[in-house]
Amino acid sequence: MLVLSRKPGEKILIGDDVTVTIVRIGPNTVRIGIEAPRTMNIVREELCEPAGHCERTLEVQPENETL
């Protein structure tokens, strides 16, 4: 995990298409703005887990497979 320190108004660029802007920092919260293509699905994690709407798939490939 990459951990960055940012001040309000500063941005984080992810690839060529996503920009995360720190909008406001409060005592217990951080408000962020996300600019991304409309085709990209952006969902808060807590909304995914209970309903199972956001399935993450991880493809695991064996390091050394012997036949």
Strand order in the sheet with 11-14: 11-14, 18-25, 30-35
Nearest Cα to Cα of residue 10 among 58, 2, 25: 25
pLDDT, tens digit (0-9, with 9 covering 90-100), for 5-45: 999 999 999 999 999 999 999 999 999 999 999 999 888 88
Whether residue 23 contacts residue 31, with contact meaning beta carbons closer than 8 Å, is answered with: yes
Whether this model's pTM surpasses 0.85: no
pLDDT in tens, 41-67: 888 888 776 655 666 544 445 555 444
- What element of type H or E holds 48? helix 45-48
* Predicted confidence (pLDDT) at residue 4 exceeds the cutoff of 70: yes
**5-19 per-residue burial string, b: 16 or more CB within 10 A, e: under 16:** eeeeeeeeeeeeeee
Which two tokens mark 24?
């406001």
